[in-house]
C-alpha cells in the first residue's frame, strides 16, 4: 500500500524528533558529575572575642562537598581542580556557608591514590566582603601527610580552621580550629541521572505512539 503525503510527513517529523532525542541522551551520557564530600573532626580550640564562636567549641567542624564534571584522575600530585560547584561550612549558625556565590577567592588542590580517591588536600575558601565588606571570613581544610606542600614545605599537621577578621588578617573577631586530626573523604558519589534522559525517553514514547496512531 503506497504511503500518503501525510504518512511521509509524519515519518519525517518522527525521524527529526528521534535525532534530537538522541542528541539529548548522548549529551547527558557524556557528562558524569562526581561529588566529593568532606567530614571534618570537631574543633578543639576556639576563641570568640565578639561572641561569634560561643562554646562549646566541639559544635564546630568543617564539612562540605564539591562537584566536578568527571571523577578525579588517579595519582594526582598537588593538582589544581576547578569544581563546577562547592559548599563548605564550619557549622557555626552565626556565619554563612562558603560556596561559589559567596566566595571571593578559593584554593582547590588535591593528591589522589591509584583509585582516584583523595588522600591529601589543600582547600581554602575566602569571603573578603562578608557582611557587606565589613569582615573578612575564611575556612579551610589542609592535609599533607606523606606528601610535601610545595607552598609551605609542611609534611604534617593537618588542619581544619575558620577565622573571622575585621577586613584584614589581624586582631581576629573569632576563630576555631583542630590540628593533627584530618577528616575523611569517602569515595566519590555520582548523582542520580538528570531529568533530561527521562524527558527524552518520554518524548520518544509519545512520538512513537503519535506516529503509530496517525499512520494507522
20-41: per-residue pLDDT in tens? 445 444 444 445 799 999 999 9
Q: How far from 96 is each of 29, 88, 90, 91, 134, CA to CA, in Å?
A: 35, 9, 9, 9, 14
Torsion of CA 168, 170, 176, 180, to 10 degrees: 110
Q: Give the pLDDT of the chain (216 residues) as one tens digit per residue.
A: 455 665 555 555 545 444 444 544 444 444 579 999 999 999 999 998 778 898 999 999 999 999 999 999 999 999 999 999 999 999 998 888 999 998 989 999 999 999 999 999 999 999 987 765 567 888 999 888 776 766 666 665 678 999 988 766 567 788 999 998 889 998 888 765 555 454 445 555 545 555 555 545
Domain ranges of the chain: 5-29+193-215, 37-179
Task: Cell 577586613: give the residue.
Answer: 167
Nearest to 60 by CA among 101, 35, 36, 95: 95
pLDDT single digits (tens) 190-215: 765 555 454 445 555 545 555 555 54
Amino acid at each position: 500500500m503506497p504511503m500518503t503525503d501525510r504518512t511521509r510527513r509524519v515519518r519525517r517529523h518522527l525521524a527529526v524528533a528521534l535525532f534530537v532525542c538522541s542528541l539529548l541522551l548522548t549529551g547527558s551520557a557524556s557528562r558524569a558529575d562526581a561529588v566529593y564530600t568532606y567530614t571534618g573532626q570537631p574543633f578543639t580550640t576556639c576563641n570568640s572575642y565578639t561572641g561569634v564562636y560561643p562554646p562549646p567549641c566541639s559544635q564546630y567542624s568543617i564539612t562540605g562537598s564539591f562537584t566536578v564534571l568527571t571523577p578525579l584522575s588517579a595519582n594526582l600530585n598537588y593538582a589544581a581542580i576547578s569544581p563546577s560547584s562547592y559548599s563548605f561550612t564550619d557549622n557555626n549558625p552565626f556565619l554563612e556557608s562558603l560556596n561559589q556565590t559567596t566566595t571571593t577567592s578559593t584554593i582547590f588542590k588535591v593528591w589522589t591514590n591509584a583509585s582516584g580517591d583523595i588522600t591529601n588536600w589543600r582547600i581554602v575558601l575566602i569571603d573578603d566582603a562578608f557582611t557587606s565588606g565589613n569582615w573578612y571570613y575564611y575556612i579551610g581544610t589542609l592535609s599533607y601527610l606523606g606528601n610535601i606542600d610545595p607552598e609551605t614545605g609542611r609534611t604534617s599537621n593537618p588542619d581544619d580552621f575558620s577565622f573571622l577578621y575585621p577586613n584584614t588578617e589581624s586582631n581576629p573577631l573569632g576563630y576555631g580550629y583542630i590540628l593533627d586530626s584530618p577528616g575523611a573523604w569517602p569515595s566519590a558519589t555520582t548523582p542520580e541521572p538528570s531529568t533530561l534522559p527521562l524527558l527524552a525517553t518520554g518524548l520518544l514514547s509519545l512520538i512513537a505512539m503519535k506516529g503509530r496512531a496517525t499512520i494507522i
